Structure 1
């Protein structure tokens, strides 16, 4: 009798849209809580991982929350004036980078102070403030301003600014990393940095948090770097390969 029951199925295997056996299906297995009677550790709530929002002083008000007209160099220069000689934290900047940013856009002999710093500033031929990008990251229908600042040793400061209805510029993200690349994915800023394991990268997605009113690192993933010219040997930490 079981053999006869299989005949319709076997006969229909060649028909378009016919049922085909998929083989054995593995049994679903849910998570199992190990040592359920053990009292777990008490973990206090973590502090937000991002920099707190901060209004930028010394910048003219933004009209209609449109950040496209903001000069990114003038913006970073205003932050340097507000936080001079800061070496660590969200505003941390090596002295040589700070000097190069102050020199961005200045003509030789513009003023006495610039001439006094000319020797230090002459070492930086290119302005460290990169071309900005724009994307609505907060979901309010207005673009945010995304600024990158090149630092020594492949490090980079990535900053994001938004404008409030009163026209004030508010910095909602500031992080400094040894950056492989920076990407935009939807409303996230995604940073790829070398991980502690050779041949792997750490991918961190920064997302807008309506409660903290800032961008926070919300997701992290370690991925293997594909082999090739830009593979593990050149992108991961560790000594270079020994050549014969």
Structure 2
């Protein structure tokens, strides 16, 4: 019996040690995993609308005439006011739409830099590579009446010509640059919420397109004592 007990003790000492609770090298259960479920298509028998195919060549950008070509696609060489004036001349008389400009704003832009100018509507430009070609584009904001703003973006082609790749007019809360995107925050029509519209470069269309829109809740402002 003593020999058997001695062998049993020796056998237990030779067994590999069990992983202790909390051993950093051991596997620890994370609990039950939720069952993955894919999207469920509603009314699958319904015939959806047809999406017309895009034109083979895409929509070319709008060439801004009347400006000297820039060197090495450097849009920093262009004066923002001169750029907007040239754009307006190409669409003289347009009041609404992407090309539109209220007459009082167009007149104020024409007076920028003169003694008759009280406040130039063309805001300081911002520069960012929006197309991913390693060259900056220029983003211009134009203040319009009633808190509206025309936001435009221009790029230079390999020949140095300026091309407008974005133009939209909105009642704007704020404008941001996020990576290669231009982000507009506008009122959503629902109290306490705003609409965020993200404009991104589309290589096929060769212009900026609103690629994402979302309605978000505006954080409550902290009460002041």
- Shorter-chain TM-score bucket reads 0.7 to 0.9
| Aligned pairs (5 A) from 1:30-41 | 30-36=38-44, 38-41=45-48
Alignment of 1:220 with 2:208, yes or no, is: no
TM-score for both structures, normalised by structure 1: 0.76
Which of 136, 150, 172 is the equivalent residue of 1:157?
Answer: 150
| SS across alignment from 1:183 | strand
- Alignment counterpart, residue 136 of structure 2, candidates 136, 140, 143: 143
Maintained 8 Å contact 1:146/1:159: yes
Counterpart pick for 2:35 among 27, 45, 56: 27
2-structure distance, mates of 1:100, 1:47: 38
Shift of 1:59: 0.9
Deviations 1:184-221 (A, max 9, x none): 11111111111121111111111111111111011111
Give the 3-state SS of the residue equivalent to 1:128 in structure 2. Answer: coil
SS at match of 1:14: coil
1:43 to 45, 50, 53: 50
TM-score (norm: length of structure 2)? 0.83
Aligned equivalents of 2:114, 2:162: Cα separation in 1: 24
Q: Could you say what the CA RMSD is over the residues aligned between the two structures, in angstroms?
A: 2.3
How far apart are residue 70 of structure 1 and its match?
A: 0.3
Aligned positions, number? 203
Specify every segment of 5 or more residues in structure 2 that has no aligned partner in the other structure, as ranges. Answer: 1-17
Aligned residues of 2:19 and 2:26 also touching (Cα < 8 A): no
Measure how far apart 1:21 and its partner are: 2.4
Q: Which residue of 1 aligns with 2:179?
A: 186
For 1:239, the equivalent position in structure 2 comes to none
Alpha-carbon distance, 1:19 to partner = 3.1
Rounded to whole Å, the distance in 1 between the matches of 2:30 and 2:131 is 45
Provide the C-alpha distance between the structure 2 equivalents of 1:225 and 1:46, rounded to a whole number of angstroms.
37
Aligned to 1:95: 103
1:106 is aligned, of 114, 122, 140, to: 114
In the TM superposition, what whole-angstrom CA distance separates every residue of 1:26-63 from its partner, at most 9, and x where no partner exists? 21112223343x14133233879xx9621111111111
CA distance in 2, matches of 1:165, 1:52: 15
Match of 1:210 in 2: 203
Larger radius of gyration: 2
CA distance in 1: counterparts of 2:93 and 2:174, whole angstroms: 28
Name 1:73's counterpart in structure 2: 81
Gaps of 5+ in 1: 1-9, 109-121, 231-244
Query: What is the rounded CA distance, in whole Å, between the counterparts of 1:174 and 1:221 in structure 2?
Result: 20
